[in-house]
Structures are given as C-alpha cells and as structure tokens.
Structure 1
Amino acid sequence: MSTVDQHAKVGQYTEVPSSDVSRRRGPLRNLRVVDLTTSYAGPTATMYLADLGADVIKVERPGTGDDARQWGPPFTGSASAWFGSANRNKRSVVLDLGSAAGQEALLKLIATADVLVENFNPAKLKSLGVDYPTLRARFPRLIYCAMSGFGLTGPDHARPGYDLAAQARSGLMSVTGQLGGPPQRVSTALSDVVTGMCAAIAVCAAVVEQQVTGNGDLVDVSLLDSDLALMAPRIAAYLAGEPEPAPSGGTDSVLAIYQPFKAADREIVVAIGNDKMWARFCQALGLEENIQNAELRSNAGRKLQRPVLIPAIADRIVTRPASEWVELLEQAGVPCSVVQTLSEVVSDPQVVERRSLMPDLKHDGLFTVRSPFRLDSIPDVPNEPYPELGQDTEDVLKELDLTVDEIGEIVSVSNGQTGSD
C-alpha cells in the first residue's frame, strides 16, 4: 500500500477540534497547566493532560521554541513530525525569560495555574525564581511537576538526560538485541513516552488531593526511574537468583513459549501463558506427543527443555505461511501475531476501527497517535493542531490583565531576541 493510500485510509477518521478553551471537555477541563518543558517526555505528559481537557499553555523561547520543533526531517508545516506528535491541544506563548518583563509575565502566568511542568536544569530554575522552594512559598496550591533525566536527588540529579542514556543506564539495552549480539536501544522514544505517562498519572493524583485540601505537591519524575519500572520483572528475577540476562532476540521470557518464530514467509510471535494454552498450541501444530510429555507439562519444565523444544517448534512453524499459523492459533485460543511493519500498522483494521491515528486538521501529512485511554465522557477526541510558535502569546497575556503597553513590551522583547538554551 502506498503512502498516499495509507493516509487516505487513516483520513477516514473525523475528529472534532477544540480550539476554543471555553468549550474544553473532559475531567480536567477546569485545570490550567503551564508547560515549560521541551524535547519529548515533558510535552508528552502535558499533551495527555490536554487530551483530558486541561488548558495547557506551552511557554517557549523566542526564535526557536521547543527543541523538538527542529527534530526533522520530516517536517509538517512549520515543525517536525516528532514535535507535532506530542503537542496537540496546546497554546503556545513566547516569552524571553532572560528579560525582566518576560520573567514577570511568567510569574503572573504561574499565579493563574493549577499545575507547572518543567524540565529545566536546577541552576536555571533558581536564577529565574521558578524553583520549587520559591514557588511553593509563593503559591502553596501549585502542583509542581519536575521532569528530569535522573531525579531531583542523588549524586547525578543535575546531569542532563535523554532517552538513549536512560535506556542504557537502566539495563534496558542490556537485555535488548539479537542473541549473541551487542545491546540495542528500543527503536522509539520509549523512555520519554513512558515518563510522560508516569508524570500525567502522578499529576492527576495530585490534582485530586489539591481539590480536596487546597494543597499543592511536588511531583518528581525521571527517565531513569521510568525505565527501571519497565525493568521491574527482570530486576526482581535477577535479584532472586536468575542469571544476569543478555540480548537474546526476545527468546528469554520467563514464559515458555513466548518469542518470535520464522514462518515460511515472515516472522510471527507466539505467547503461551499457561499449561492449558500449551496443550492447545501443541494440538494446533500437530505436536500432540508433547502434551503427554511429563517434562513439558509445566512452564518450569518447558523452560528447562528450551534447547530441544524451540528447534522442534521452529522446524514445524517454518513449513507454512504466517497467515495460516495465525488463523490456526487464533482458532485454538493461543495469543499470536504477525510482526507487522509500520505500513501495515497504520491500516490495521483494529487500529482503524479504534480511531487510534488522528489526522492533523491543519498540517497536511501529519497524523498523531490517540492517547492510550478512552473515556466515555469524551466521545469526540479533542484534536487541535499543534500551535505555531507564539501564536497565542497576546491572547494569553490579555487573560493576565496586563495593559496594552505591558503586552507590547513583552511581545517586542520576545520578537527581538533569538533566545538561548
């Protein structure tokens, strides 16, 4: 299927824009979030909050804005596809935080907010007067979400962190890759996306407390902690005595059988979760003798017999096309799937039916992935296109009751600077 055909199929979705803040829907519709983050983890967190109805005001540096705006090609409109994928349903305000006027405007904006999300380095936060102790004293109701590479405490709390470094340091890369090969990064922004999810969950919990007691909270979320959470079962197994794992091509799960196999034309995966499923799997493959084998009746036994068992299964699966095995195994109630490419994923009937890919209503060629949750109270998914850099600056400043002269000064200063890191 061509790219044009894929986009045409995805484009059958009809999403409802939510450009008017007063018409926001969802459980967080009365929440204002000031977003000082850049790159990917922070913007992902605030996008999920915006999807749930929050008014997210994205504060960006003059000239360049969020780093991710330049993370291309490909570009869709004025920014990269990566940027577009994490910044729908937000408003963009440009402030020169190196100027007194910009800093004062930021503090006025924070005074109207319920939540602040940031990923600045500690020294810069303090120099701007937006570090947690300072803002806690001034705005005790504010929920302050600090996103970082390694957390707010510990010897490396001030070190910058990116997805790649977190995957490496958490041990995630050490178990990823082909059998006998070198460690590999999971080839997506895994740490960033998961950290964004964790931050959104924690902020929502803090909002509940805020609404009950009127008190704010400090939310400390890091890439390393999120990746450690992903590694929780492997860490637990290792500390319980399992040998230290290494890249295995996905063949070393605690479950047997739980891995990819090569069919006659392409790879499939098979996931055997219990002993009854194992029996049905053997029946489907025509390996009934394994059902009666006492050494294979339990998962523990099958793990011990992997060196003999896996080649026998592989020899059987490679004799038929993947589609035939998937049909047989689905009929037998055995979880399985073809290993799909992205060209197949975007036209997958389940993905299409669930409206999981949303066409950007302004930027041709951009599709974002719907948040991984569905709420009956939000039947029409908000899908406002990512904001142009600074497109909402004047509107937001007017909401802060600034005078025309004050707004003009802030805008002129911001427009006259290129910004700095």
Structure 2
Amino acid sequence: MLASVGTRGSGAGGGRMTRRFLPLDGVRVIDLTTSYAGPIASMHLGDLGADVIKIERPGGGDDCRTWGPPFVDGVSAWFASANRNKRSLTLDVRADAGRAALDRLLATAQAMLVNVSPPKLARLRLTPDEVLAAHPRLVYCSLTGFGVDGPDSGLLGYDLIAQARSGLMSVTGELGGAPQRPSTALTDIVAAYVCALSIVAALRDVERTGRGVALDVSLLDVALNLMAPRIASYLAGEPEPRPSGATDSVLSIYRPFRAADRTIVIAIGNDAIWRRFCAAIERPDLGQDPRFGTNELRRNARSELTAVIEAVIAQRVAAEWLERFEGADVPSAAVQFLSEVVADPQVKARRSILVGDGGEQRLASIETPWRVIGGHRRADGPVPEAGQHGEQILREVGLSDDDLAALRACGAFADGRPPR
C-alpha cells in the first residue's frame, strides 16, 4: 500500500528520475462527510494518492456547494478549496437500495469518513460496530462536534461552536474587549489534518494486524488541543485569561506594533533575540538593563516596555524596520492583507496557491503544507460536479444496468454529468 512511483522529470536535469509520492495509491476512501472539515481531510488523502469517492445526497449534494458568494461559474470558492482529487457519487444512503450500494462500495474500500452525530448514525445503520462487523478490515473515522460519547455527543457541532466551548474565543480579541472568533475555519482545518493523520496511521495498523479500526475525532477535542498552553498555564496557577489584543500569555514581546505606515509583528523568543532587538531599535540600554534581562522580568514589566517600544516603532515605516530586523536576525513580519499574501514572493516560489482548471485564478485551493524534497505528488484533479462520476463508480463495483435502473427508479441514485 505505502508505495511511490518513479516518473521521468521534465525540469532541470532533463531525463533524471524524480520520485512521484503517492503512498496511498491503491487505497479507496469512501467520504460521507459534508461541509468543511471532513472534505478537507479526504482531499488530503486524495493528494496522497487515494481514490476518494465523495458520496453526496441527490438533489443538492454537499451543503458546502451552496456556501457563497463568491461563486465562479456556479462553483462555490469554499467548496473548491476542499474538494480537489475526488470523484462524486450522488446516493441516498437512507434508502435500502442506496444502503446496499454503499455496502458494495465499502467492500472495495480501505477507509471511510462520516461526520454525522451518533443518533443519526444509528438511524442510518452506520455505527462503527455495524460497519466494522460487515467490513472487518476497514478504517472507520467519525468526525463530529463533540465525539461519539459523553452527554453532548448528540449535539450538532460547527467550528464556531467548538471555538466557543473550548475557550479559544475567550482569549481572542482586543485587550479588554469582547471575545472574538479567529476569522477562518480554524478547528475545521486542524481537525482535517487530525483525521488524515489518524487514518494513515490506522491503515498501517490494519496492514500489521488485519483488524479494522474505529477512530473518533471531534472539533471540541481539536480546539482543546489548540488551547493546550493556555489551559496548562491556567491550571498551573496563572489568572484566567481574557482577550489580550494579540499578545502572548508567556512571551513578553510577541505581538503587533504600529509602524509609521502599517502594523508589523515582532517575536522575541529568547534573551539573545531581545538584546539584538534592542540594538536594532537603537536602545541598547534596554538590552543591558538587568531589570529586563529575562523573559519573566520583561513580562513583569510588559506595560512599561510595550509603551517604550510602541513609541520607537511608530517613528519609522514598516519596510525600514523589517530590513533592520532581518539584518539583526530578529523575527518580524508585516501584517499582510490577502491581496499581499497571494503576491508574496515566498508563497509564489513555493507554489502554495493552486489555481483551478485552465489556470483560473479565481477558483483556487491551497497546497498541502508539506513537500516531498526531490519528488512530487499527484497532479491536482478538478473539483467534481455533484454525481459526476456516479455511474462509473457503481459499475466498478459490479452494478448492472438493471441495478442502476432500480436505484434511479426509487430515487436513491441520480446521474450527474459524465466525467471529463
């Protein structure tokens, strides 16, 4: 299962062989998830070479297809960011015929993802026990708001709910202000990586033991992990934190500052950086002052130091400060807007933004945050239309013309546009 394929490179070096990194080549993943976290998880499995079959409900498909604007030629930009490298099948798994077709698919698969609550899983006859009894070598991954057990396991969960319940919002926002949500689907995206990592690990375990594995990932648990240092500090005796205006709970100078023209951030991670920073802002006296010699001392004097640094940073434009800090090996950056992010030379050099079909820049997704040095992964497949590959997939698992006609007749299967 865990394999790679050699392909002839086309760049510098001419005919040299490069490694095509497809460790999940030959693995089939059945994706029953909707919205965002689950589809991102299966997308990354597809990036690794898996054959991802996205099961969508007839008559509408994944909820995320309607998330917009913006839409590009009728395709949601949000949906496109989470659904490359997949094939789509519209199938009503609530119907007996649809459920039987799903079982045919699961018999050919190595992993499945589902993101509905335990009570709904029971109604669909898709609980871990039921599925693994029929498919004992399957990796079954449940992604929910609150997990498969506990008093709130039946509640619906979204990124916003997890950020609120975990305390993440309680420490986010302007100093002294109201709690805020970081303006991205933070727990969804991290949960996707947790699912993908645990599925890959479980596939290895099935290879070794021959026994299937049931995985339980929740948005709340993911958000609690994101809050690990804040929770640990609180339980160790720190005061309960509140919105802190982008300051760090431990590091004293690790925050934004307003330069003459825009905002920059400065990260003082140790005492040596502190001394270099003080020299760069032409205040070596601060770096030599024993009252500020350690992070703990600087944190005790945070208000005093912050006021001094704010006054100094405000005197020059950001570009000048960033050049100085780079020369002094002090971590810093401008707070960029997205128009700057997409044009960032480092982002472009790494090809971190993947454009859509035909180079359509308005419909893009983001490259996985890892690279294979000296190799590459699969080419990026287009975002599927709802049900686009349905007949092709069902014929692959042995359904006949009569079977397909019966599924269509009872409404359990709807044809999509044939694959391009």
TM-score by length of structure 1 reads 0.91
Give 1:313 shift: 0.6
* Within-5 A mapping of 1:122-141: 122-141=118-137
Q: Which residue of 258, 264, 276 corresponds with 1:262?
A: 258
User: Could you say which residue in structure 2 is the equivalent of 1:366?
Assistant: 363
Q: Is the 8 A contact 2:260 2:313 kept in 1?
A: yes
**Which sections of structure 2, spanning at least 5 residues, go unmatched?**
1-9, 11-19, 416-420
User: Could you say which residue in structure 1 is the equivalent of 2:14?
Assistant: none
Distance 2:414 2:347 in 1: 45
User: Could you say which residue in structure 2 is the equivalent of 1:181?
Assistant: 177
User: Could you say which residue in structure 2 is the equivalent of 1:74?
Assistant: 70
Change (3 A) 1:362 1:415: farther
> Which SS does the other structure have where 1:283 is aligned?
helix
Change (3 A) 1:98 1:218: closer
> Hey, which bits of structure 1, 4+ residues long, moved more than 3 A?
414-417
> Which SS does the other structure have where 1:109 is aligned?
helix
Distance 1:381 1:78 in 2: 26
Distance 1:168 1:346 in 2: 30
Give 1:416 shift: 6.7
User: Could you say which residue in structure 2 is the equivalent of 1:317?
Assistant: 313
Q: Deviations over 1:37-72 (max 9, x none)?
A: 000010011111111111100000001100000001
Q: Is the 8 A contact 2:47 2:377 kept in 1?
A: no
Give 1:77 shift: 3.1
Distance 2:267 2:59 in 1: 50
Q: Deviations over 1:103-153 (max 9, x none)?
A: 110111111110010012223322222211111111110110000000111
> Which SS does the other structure have where 2:354 is aligned?
strand
* Within-5 A mapping of 1:91-170: 91-170=87-166
Distance 2:220 2:55 in 1: 25
User: Could you say which residue in structure 2 is the equivalent of 1:9?
Assistant: none
Change (3 A) 1:212 1:409: same
Is it true that 1:90 corresponds to 2:86 in the alignment? yes
Distance 1:35 1:387 in 2: 13
Distance 2:224 2:158 in 1: 15
Q: Is the 8 A contact 1:77 1:363 kept in 2?
A: no
Change (3 A) 1:354 1:363: closer
Q: Deviations over 1:15-56 (max 9, x none)?
A: xxxxxxxxx961011211000000001001111111111110
Identity level (%): 52
Is it true that 1:39 corresponds to 2:35 in the alignment? yes
> Which SS does the other structure have where 1:300 is aligned?
helix
Q: Deviations over 1:227-273 (max 9, x none)?
A: 00000000000100111111111124311210000000000000001
Q: Is the 8 A contact 2:352 2:367 kept in 1?
A: yes
Number of aligned residue pairs: give it: 395
Q: Is the 8 A contact 1:265 1:322 kept in 2?
A: yes
Q: Which residue of 217, 223, 230 corresponds with 1:234?
A: 230
Q: Is the 8 A contact 1:76 1:363 kept in 2?
A: no
> Which SS does the other structure have where 1:98 is aligned?
coil
Change (3 A) 1:216 1:274: same
Give 1:337 shift: 0.2
Q: Which residue of 384, 389, 392 corresponds with 1:392?
A: 389
Q: Deviations over 1:169-212 (max 9, x none)?
A: 00000000001110000000001001101111111110111111
Is it true that 1:353 corresponds to 2:332 in the alignment? no
Q: Is 323-332 or 98-107 further displaced after alignment?
A: 98-107
Distance 1:377 1:252 in 2: 37
> Cα RMSD between the aligned structures?
1.6
Distance 1:77 1:140 in 2: 43
Q: Is the 8 A contact 2:83 2:383 kept in 1?
A: yes
**Which sections of structure 1, spanning at least 5 residues, go unmatched?**
1-13, 15-23
Give 1:363 shift: 8.4
> Which SS does the other structure have where 1:291 is aligned?
helix
Q: Deviations over 1:341-365 (max 9, x none)?
A: 0000000000000000001115842
TM-score by length of structure 2 reads 0.91
Give 1:376 shift: 3.7
Give 1:155 shift: 0.5
Output the amino acid matched with 2:26: N
> Which SS does the other structure have where 2:35 is aligned?
coil
User: Could you say which residue in structure 2 is the equivalent of 1:62?
Assistant: 58
Structure number with the bigger relative contact order (C-alpha 8 A, sep ≥ 6) is 1
Distance 1:199 1:416 in 2: 29
> Which SS does the other structure have where 1:185 is aligned?
coil
Q: Is the 8 A contact 1:85 1:367 kept in 2?
A: yes
Distance 1:98 1:254 in 2: 51
Q: Is 404-413 or 288-297 further displaced after alignment?
A: 404-413
Q: Which residue of 402, 406, 409 corresponds with 2:403?
A: 406
User: Could you say which residue in structure 2 is the equivalent of 1:303?
Assistant: 299
Q: Is the 8 A contact 1:171 1:231 kept in 2?
A: yes
